[in-house]
């Protein structure tokens, strides 16, 4: 059934200009349509905000503001934004229409890619992100779904943060909902995302292209988030032996957990990619990964669900993937029929080069795969009964029967417990050939769950309670509290008892404990200053370098938290020790006017006093308290004299 027939926008002329032909992607924030600009007679994509959200003035304002910003970003590898407008309750963006597929489609059906193909895809992605970074934009949601590979071989990056989560969660919290596999540790821990967060995500994407699987996996999004914070991304060669060490180093640099160690932005990572590529031999670039490994690809936190829609054979394949964080539902058209593949020996002699040949190679491989299924068909096997079992139990039982487990789907259920199998395709008892594939649908539990009361719970315990309820901790903020113990939860957003969809993020406010007023310790000895600060519950470290200052040598010249600042127990204050005042040569100002003498002395950092004998004539300096050419401490006072009669 074609679900687009039920959409009121399909067939309508929007804003007197855009004829909406078909719905191609659906998300929680917006819907994407294929449309025709009747003025310019060109096909484009319309991204239309859901009418319910159009009543939120702040959200609409941000939608329009970010659309204008991205429209100014002109780059051949960025999906262009042509227009923005509104008609009634429909607020929309007119965007470039890309016919082809997404990188997710390629990885799902091809698995690991040869290094040359992976680098061919990542290079234009980094070029696009580099242009955005140098223009002041951060994508914040890089993943294979947002990398489009056109039928002409061009690679484009889509969705530069045009639609973000609304309500209580921040934009980063919204991203956590659907893209946990690509979040940088600082996004998870602090809610911050700069250019280095995009670099981290690109490193994960490169790992996935080289190995066919994500670096971190788990039964829940919370487990994946924890691994991002606590575990380094493994070397790709640990999964695909034989990969060059340069590729391992490239992934390690991009996915360093400390953002200070990563390349600063996509431009810097692109330079490292090209350097690594130049060091690889052709046989290393064209090494074909063992595709048997692709069957173990992890999709635990891949929230994209695919809905097939039949189209005429001559229609293009549209690759716009909606990245709305709290829905992630994508409507894809069926693929074009693939031409017959060349002989295997011919393919080995002439490996595909460039993105265009990569896409053709993937399509050929898919066409060949369907034929192999029939050629290698063996005896029929009945699909075992696995309803109600965990994913691990069901997978083992299916593989023990000689069948394979395909892409796992997820859906809500009031009957089956969260994480158990609620549906099987083909159904249990149906017959498949020996190497047939079974698709499992796992229960996400009830469609709505209640936010638990987390007040006074330590943060680690709060995370576990949320995970047990099917929710995930979102942005963590800290706040002083005289009533809640340090490290425990003060409040949650949404509040306890609020109903939310499973896998929704809950923002937490965590106590920093009672505030401490930082005392002034400048001028004190290091021992006295340290004792005073430690008595207040603060941690003291000394800066490695001493500095010149008016304070006595060996005393405290500066402190990292100024007097009156509020700190939490255990916070660290850095003390800088004085080397004493800097000695400066005193200029000779005898014979100068008072104003010139004052300027000369103050330029060298001295204080100036003027001493006059009454009565006096003229304005000429006849003496100075420190002889010109000698040295005196910077900041000390030099007295100049004007004698009288």
Backbone φ, ψ for residue 644 (5° rounding)? -90, -160
Rg (CA), the chain: 33
Q: What pLDDT does 244 receive?
A: 94
* 371 occurs within a structural domain: no
185 and 126 housed in the same domain: yes
Residue 374's contacts (CB-CB under 8 Å, 6 or more residues apart) are none
Residue 374 has pLDDT above 60, yes or no: no
What is the average per-residue pLDDT within 346-373?
36
Q: What is the rounded CA–CA span in Å between residue 441 and residue 572?
A: 50
User: What confidence tier does 63 reach under pLDDT thresholds 50, 70, 90?
Assistant: confident
Residue 483 has pLDDT above 90, yes or no: yes
Question: Which comes out higher in pLDDT, residue 86 or 466?
Answer: 466
The residue among 320, 343, 365 that closes a domain is 365
Give the β-pairing of 566-567 and 516-517. antiparallel
Q: What pLDDT does 220 receive?
A: 81
Q: What pLDDT does 85 receive?
A: 87
What is the average per-residue pLDDT within 53-72?
75
Q: What is the rounded CA–CA span in Å between residue 359 and residue 222?
A: 34
Residue 344 has pLDDT above 70, yes or no: no
Q: What is the rounded CA–CA span in Å between residue 378 and residue 198?
A: 46
Q: What is the rounded CA–CA span in Å between residue 474 and residue 188?
A: 7
Question: Which comes out higher in pLDDT, residue 407 or 327?
Answer: 407
* Lowest-confidence pick of 20-29, 158-167, 409-418: 158-167
Q: What is the rounded CA–CA span in Å between residue 239 and residue 206?
A: 13
500 and 547 housed in the same domain: no
* 370 occurs within a structural domain: no
- Integer angstrom CA distances of residue 234 from 125, 215, 231, 241, 290: 22, 7, 8, 13, 18
Q: What pLDDT does 161 receive?
A: 54
User: What confidence tier does 616 reach under pLDDT thresholds 50, 70, 90?
Assistant: low
Give the β-pairing of 607-612 and 637-642. parallel
Q: What is the rounded CA–CA span in Å between residue 101 and residue 601?
A: 72
10 and 138 housed in the same domain: yes
User: What confidence tier does 14 reach under pLDDT thresholds 50, 70, 90?
Assistant: very high
The percent of the chain in helix, strand and coil, each rounded to the nearest 5, is 30, 25, 45
361 and 399 housed in the same domain: no
The residue among 331, 365, 399 that closes a domain is 365
Residue with tokens 């070397």: 235
291 and 330 housed in the same domain: yes
* 461 occurs within a structural domain: yes
* Lowest-confidence pick of 52-56, 181-185, 186-190: 52-56
403 and 373 Cβ atoms separated by less than 8 Å = no
Residue 175 has pLDDT above 90, yes or no: no
Residue 355 has pLDDT above 80, yes or no: no
Q: What pLDDT does 213 receive?
A: 93
What is the average per-residue pLDDT within 114-142?
92
* 108 occurs within a structural domain: yes
* Lowest-confidence pick of 178-182, 200-204, 221-225, 293-297: 293-297
Can you spell out the DSSP letters for 148-178?
EEETTS-EEE--SS-S---SSS-HHHHHHHH
* 126 occurs within a structural domain: yes
Residue 193 has pLDDT above 90, yes or no: no
* Lowest-confidence pick of 179-183, 368-372, 482-486, 555-559: 368-372
Residue 351 has pLDDT above 80, yes or no: no
Which among 417, 435, 340, 332 is positioned nearest to 381, based on CA atoms?
435
3-state DSSP assignment of residue 310 = coil
Residue 329 has pLDDT above 70, yes or no: no
282 and 244 Cβ atoms separated by less than 8 Å = no
Residue 114 has pLDDT above 90, yes or no: yes
> Is the Cα dihedral 165, 168, 173, 178 positive or negative?
negative
Backbone φ, ψ for residue 144 (5° rounding)? -60, -30
218 and 357 housed in the same domain: yes
Which residues are catalytically annotated? 141
3-state DSSP assignment of residue 48 = strand
What is the average per-residue pLDDT within 433-456?
85
438 and 453 housed in the same domain: no
The residue among 463, 481, 511 that closes a domain is 511
What is the average per-residue pLDDT within 489-495?
94
User: What confidence tier does 295 reach under pLDDT thresholds 50, 70, 90?
Assistant: very low
210 and 93 housed in the same domain: yes
Q: What pLDDT does 342 receive?
A: 36
Q: What pLDDT does 1 receive?
A: 39
User: What confidence tier does 4 reach under pLDDT thresholds 50, 70, 90?
Assistant: very low
Q: Which residues pair with 512 in a beta bridge?
A: none
Q: How many domains does the chain have?
A: 5
Q: What pLDDT does 289 receive?
A: 82
Which two tokens mark 124?
């234009």
Segment (H or E) for 532 = helix 526-535
Which two tokens mark 600?
């000369």
* 176 occurs within a structural domain: yes
381 and 270 housed in the same domain: no
Averaged confidence pLDDT in the chain: 80
What is the average per-residue pLDDT within 432-437?
76
- Integer angstrom CA distances of residue 460 from 354, 454, 457, 467, 473: 47, 11, 8, 11, 10
Q: What pLDDT does 644 receive?
A: 62
| Domain boundaries, position 341 | 3-365
User: What confidence tier does 418 reach under pLDDT thresholds 50, 70, 90?
Assistant: confident
3-state secondary structure 173-191: HHHHHHCHHHCCHHHHHHC
The tens digit of pLDDT for each residue in 541-550 reads: 999 999 988 8
Largest CA distance in the chain: 125
* 90 occurs within a structural domain: yes
User: What's 500's domain CATH number?
Assistant: 3.30.10.20
Residue 209 has pLDDT above 90, yes or no: yes
609 and 630 housed in the same domain: yes
Residue 268 has pLDDT above 70, yes or no: yes
The structure's pTM equals 0.47
296 and 399 housed in the same domain: no
* 474 occurs within a structural domain: yes
Q: Which residues pair with 425 in a beta bridge?
A: 439
Q: What pLDDT does 550 receive?
A: 86
Q: What is the rounded CA–CA span in Å between residue 364 and residue 340?
A: 7
The tens digit of pLDDT for each residue in 140-154 reads: 889 998 999 988 889
303 and 178 Cβ atoms separated by less than 8 Å = yes
Q: Is the peptide bond before 615 cis (omega within 30 degrees of 0)?
A: yes
Cα torsion for 258, 487, 506, 185, to the nearest 10°?
10
92 and 219 housed in the same domain: yes
Separation of CA 311 from chain center: 35
Q: What pLDDT does 302 receive?
A: 43
């Amino acid at each position: 059934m074609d679900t687009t027939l039920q959409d009121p926008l399909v067939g309508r002329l929007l804003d007197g200009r855009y004829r909406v032909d078909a719905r191609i992607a659906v998300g929680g924030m917006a819907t994407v349509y294929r449309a025709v600009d009747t003025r310019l007679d060109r096909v484009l994509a319309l991204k239309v905000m859901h009418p319910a959200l159009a009543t939120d003035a702040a959200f609409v304002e941000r939608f329009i503001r970010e659309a204008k910003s991205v429209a100014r970003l002109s780059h051949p590898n960025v999906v262009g934004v042509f227009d923005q407008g509104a008609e009634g309750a429909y607020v929309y963006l007119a965007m470039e229409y890309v016919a082809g597929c997404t990188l997710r489609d390629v990885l799902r059906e091809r698995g690991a890619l040869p290094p040359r193909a992976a680098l061919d895809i990542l290079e234009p992605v980094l070029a696009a992100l580099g242009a955005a970074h140098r223009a002041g934009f951060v994508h914040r949601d890089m993943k294979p779904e947002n990398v489009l590979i056109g039928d002409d071989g061009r690679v484009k990056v889509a969705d530069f943060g045009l639609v973000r989560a609304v309500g209580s969660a921040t934009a980063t919290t919204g991203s956590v909902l659907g893209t946990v596999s690509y979040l940088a540790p600082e996004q998870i821990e602090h809610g911050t995302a700069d250019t280095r967060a995009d670099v981290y995500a690109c490193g994960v994407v490169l790992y996935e292209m080289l190995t066919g699987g994500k670096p971190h996996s788990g039964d829940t999004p919370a487990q994946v988030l924890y691994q991002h914070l606590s575990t380094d991304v493994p070397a790709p060669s640990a999964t695909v032996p034989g990969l060059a060490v340069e590729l391992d180093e490239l992934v390690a640099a991009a996915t360093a957990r400390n953002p200070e160690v990563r390349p600063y932005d996509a431009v810097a990572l692109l330079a490292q990619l090209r350097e690594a590529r130049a060091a690889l031999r052709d046989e290393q670039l064209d090494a074909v990964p063992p595709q048997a490994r692709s069957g173990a690809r992890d999709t635990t936190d891949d929230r994209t669900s695919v809905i097939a829609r039949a189209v005429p054979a001559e229609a293009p394949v549209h690759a716009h993937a909606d990245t709305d964080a709290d829905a992630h539902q994508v409507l894809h058209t069926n693929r074009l029929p693939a031409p017959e593949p060349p002989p295997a020996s011919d393919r080995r002699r002439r490996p595909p080069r460039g993105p265009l040949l990569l896409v053709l190679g993937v399509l050929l491989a898919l066409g060949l795969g369907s034929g192999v299924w029939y050629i290698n068909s063996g005896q029929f096997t009945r699909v075992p009964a696995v309803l109600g079992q965990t994913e691990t139990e069901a997978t083992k039982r299916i593989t023990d029967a000689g069948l394979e487990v395909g892409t796992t789907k997820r859906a809500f259920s009031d009957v089956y417990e969260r994480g158990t199998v609620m549906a099987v395709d083909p159904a249990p008892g149906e017959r498949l050939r020996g190497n047939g594939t079974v698709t499992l649908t796992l229960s996400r539990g009830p469609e709505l769950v209640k936010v638990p009361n987390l007040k006074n719970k330590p943060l680690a315990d709060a995370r576990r309670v949320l995970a047990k309820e099917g929710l995930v901790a979102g942005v963590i903020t800290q706040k002083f509290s005289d009533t809640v113990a340090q490290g425990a939860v003060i409040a949650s957003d949404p509040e306890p008892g609020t109903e939310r969809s499973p896998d929704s993020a809950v923002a937490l406010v965590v106590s920093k404990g009672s505030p401490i007023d930082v005392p002034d310790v400048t001028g004190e000895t290091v021992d006295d200053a340290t004792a005073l600060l430690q008595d207040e519950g603060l941690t003291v470290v000394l800066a490695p370098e001493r500095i010149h200052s008016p304070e006595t040598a060996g005393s405290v010249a500066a402190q990292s938290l100024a007097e009156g600042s509020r700190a939490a127990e255990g916070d660290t204050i850095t003390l800088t020790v004085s080397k004493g005042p800097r000695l400066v040569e005193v200029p000779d100002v005898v014979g100068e006017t008072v104003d010139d003498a004052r300027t000369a002395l103050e330029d060298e950092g001295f204080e100036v006093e003027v001493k006059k004998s009454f009565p006096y004539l003229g304005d000429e300096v006849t003496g100075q308290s420190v002889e010109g050419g000698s040295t005196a401490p910077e900041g000390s006072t030099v007295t100049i004299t004007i004698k009288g009669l």
